[in-house]
Amino acid sequence: MNVRKSWIDVSSDRLSVAEQCRCFSVPRSSFYYCPNSLQDNELRLMEAMDEFHYRRPMYGARRLAVHFGITRKTAARMMRLLHIVPTYPKKRTTIPNVEHKKFPYLLRDVKPLHANHIWSTDITYLPMAQGFMYLTAIIDWYSRRILSWRLSNTMDVGFCVDCLAEALENFGWPMFFNTDQGSQYTSEKFQKMFAGLATKMSMDGRGRWLDNVFVERFWWTVKYEDFFPKRYATVVELHRGMSEYMRFYNDERIHSSIANLTPTRVYDESINRPGETFLPL
């Protein structure tokens, strides 16, 4: 209750409540107003929403409203009471260099038929307590296997080159390699890695994130299954956690898009049975 409202004595015989309200500059409507307390069902909803937020931190008012069967206005009010703020990528990582050579997008309507048919890569950012870390990875489209990955505190081309070098050394080379138009991938240092290989370079159309949807989907998965729930405090913890998650993703996590198998199994089956399409198209 407002302090001035507490000064008003409703049992006084000398001054009425109205006169006391005038003396203390308290509107009578405010004095008689009693805020509605939260109902039991609202408290249960808030508890459920708070728990759900830790499992799906990317849900905003619209998606929470659909999930819990409430209005968007109610969802937004609950979010304010719980201090819930949805988590989603906000930092731009694709920075083109106008002097670098660009390649056309070659994969429209092309379906991956086997392991090492199509690889792609990208960079995403990971917000830390102080600054950012950047994660790059190379994914095989057919098996969804993460072939290599690297962390860096800068967006220099070096960690992209190291990531590519590891993938080429351990898995050979793909028929197609797709990237966005970022300066890391159009740089001479990165392009030199394909010298002497038969790999065809492909690049996303400007603003067309769907052209690289497999790696974009992986960013969503790694962030909301591992990074955001765990909130790594240090770079050492982040690297250890990412190492464990990449192993889990490749060797244990089943994917509905590849017949509920693991990426490693699908990749190995395809390599061991060349010329056959292991998965239904």
* CATH assignment of the domain containing 249: 3.30.420.10
- What are the residues facing 152 on neighbouring strands? 134
Mean pLDDT, rounded, for 56-64: 87
The two three-digit tokens of residue 117, written as one number: 């048919």
Class of residue 84 by CB neighbours under 10 A (exposed 0-12, middle 13-18, buried 19+): buried
Q: Are residues 15 and 60 in the same domain?
A: no
Is residue 117 pLDDT above 90, yes or no?
yes
What are 145's two structure tokens? 């296997």
What's the pLDDT at 118?
94
Tokens of 177: 């390699």
**Residues 68, 167: one domain?**
no
Higher pLDDT residue, 193 or 40? 193
Same-domain check for residues 140 and 268: yes
CA max distance for the chain: 101
Pull the structure tokens for residue 148.
């290599």
For tokens 């960079």, the residue is: 123
SS3 125: strand
Q: Are residues 22 and 50 in the same domain?
A: no
Statement: residue 209 has pLDDT above 50: no
In a domain, 69, yes or no: yes
- The reported pLDDT for the residue numbered 106 is 84
Number of domain units in the chain:
3
Structure confidence at residue 95 (pLDDT): 52
Q: Output the CA angle 227-231-234, nearest 5 degrees.
A: 105
HSE at residue 73, side-chain half, CA atoms within 13 A, is: 0
Average pLDDT over residues 147-151: 96
Q: Can you name the residues that pair with 134 across neighbouring β-strands?
A: 125, 152
187 and 256 together in one domain: yes
Average pLDDT over residues 244-248: 97
Range of the domain at 14: 3-32
Query: Which H or E run includes 140?
Result: strand 132-140
Q: Are residues 144 and 250 in the same domain?
A: yes
Mean pLDDT (the chain, rounded)? 82
271 pLDDT above the threshold of 70: yes
Residues 131 and 55 both lie in one domain: no
Q: Is residue 228 part of a domain?
A: yes
d(CA 188, CA 193): 9
